[in-house]
Structure 1
Amino acid sequence: MANKKPTRDLIGIIWTNFWRSFLPRKYRGDYKGDDYFGNKYFEIPANPAVGQRKERWFEPADKEAFDQELTAEWEAWLRGRREEPPSRDELIKNLQVIEMKKRNAAELDAQYAKEKDAGALPKQVEGETIGTYPKYKDYEINPGKKPMDEKK
């Protein structure tokens, strides 16, 4: 038998595409998860047969607030940098890391405030104005000129 190549039926392709255009489209996506801010995430899977790419979006917890926060994991999923949505365990673990960093920053801030109050910082030259770099007696103010102690 001879190998027959399938012929393209142009009218059949046009009719099939015309008929598919009347079929209902999927506007409501599949629920994929939520984050600890209360945002809900959805996806419509890709359908290459009709030339549709996958769509991802989120519904904010407060629809009136325009300064919504998104977790880094969900934002990566929305932008297509990761294929699978983040798991609940991953979100909890990263939230704990964020809270630990906030505690550590508050402890360091309190420690530096105590050192500043105790006078641990070097003495600066009197007459310094606000907004300039600190001036110390041991360093030159202008390159090539003598330090401040030697002028006296």
Structure 2
Amino acid sequence: MSKIGGLLRRTFGVVREHVGTDHLGNRYYLIPEQKTWTGRHVRAKRIVEAANPAEHEYMEGSIPMEWEAWVRGRRKEPPSIEELMLNESQREKIKLKAIEVEEKDLALQAKEYEEGLVATPTRTVAKGHASTAIFGKEELSQEPTSTANKFQPGSWMPTSKK
């Protein structure tokens, strides 16, 4: 079988085996280990044929985590449909629990603020830019200032730095 497969690969090019398709329409292929016509060994490859082939349309999460782990070689076997469905339902449960916990936390904070157990956070307005050396300080400058036509030469005298 491997001799026939090798002959077909040499004759018709790379043979890829369809492994699966996810719910987003991405198709996954395995290119088995093969020998070129020169006798060089080529390692097996795992590739994805995206449902939206335009690069600018790719978004994080366009490939399910299980399939990405298979493509990157972190798992040996491709994921089954049952596994994908089970993991998706678990993710939804976790999202719902996170929302529930956040609502309880906000209600507890509001109750503590009302009872006076916790001081309400103050909101301060900062003047200037935080990266400046004198952020938040209002000191008078020793530097001369000019307002165009009102400046009188010799009216400013430097102060001693002693």
Contact in 2 for aligned 1:45/1:54 (Cα 8 Å): yes
* CA–CA distance in structure 2, aligned partners of residues 21 and 123 of structure 1: 72
Match of residue 59 from structure 2: 67
Deviates more, 1:85-94 or 1:112-121: 112-121
2:136 maps to 1:106: no
Contact in 2 for aligned 1:77/1:84 (Cα 8 Å): yes
Match of residue 95 from structure 1: 88
**CA shift at 1:21, angstroms?**
9.6
CA displacement, residues 45-75 of structure 1 (integer Å, 9 cap, x when unaligned):
1115641111111122222312242222111
Q: Indicate how the Cα distance of structure 1 residues 62 and 97 shifts in structure 2: closer, same or farther if over 3 A, else same.
A: same
Q: Indicate how the Cα distance of structure 1 residues 20 and 59 shifts in structure 2: closer, same or farther if over 3 A, else same.
A: closer
Contact in 2 for aligned 1:60/1:68 (Cα 8 Å): no
Task: Compare CA radii of gyration and give the structure with the larger one.
Answer: 2
Q: How does 1:104-143 map to 2 (within 5 A)?
A: 104-119=97-112, 122-124=117-119, 129=124
**CA shift at 1:105, angstroms?**
0.6
Match of residue 86 from structure 1: 79
* CA–CA distance in structure 2, aligned partners of residues 25 and 60 of structure 1: 22
CA displacement, residues 1-44 of structure 1 (integer Å, 9 cap, x when unaligned):
xxxxxxxxxxxxxxxxxx999632125x2211122333211111
Q: Percent identity?
A: 29
* CA–CA distance in structure 2, aligned partners of residues 100 and 60 of structure 1: 28
* CA–CA distance in structure 1, aligned partners of residues 121 and 82 of structure 2: 56
**CA shift at 1:123, angstroms?**
2.3
* CA–CA distance in structure 2, aligned partners of residues 126 and 20 of structure 1: 72
Structure 1, unpaired ranges of 5+:
1-18, 131-152
* CA–CA distance in structure 2, aligned partners of residues 110 and 126 of structure 1: 19
| TM-score, scaled to structure 1 | 0.60
**CA shift at 1:82, angstroms?**
1.5
One-letter code of the match for 1:66? Answer: Y
Structure 2, unpaired ranges of 5+:
1-6, 126-162
| TM-score, scaled to structure 2 | 0.57
* CA–CA distance in structure 2, aligned partners of residues 36 and 122 of structure 1: 50
2:27 maps to 1:40: yes
2:29 maps to 1:51: no
Alignment RMSD (CA, Å): 3.1
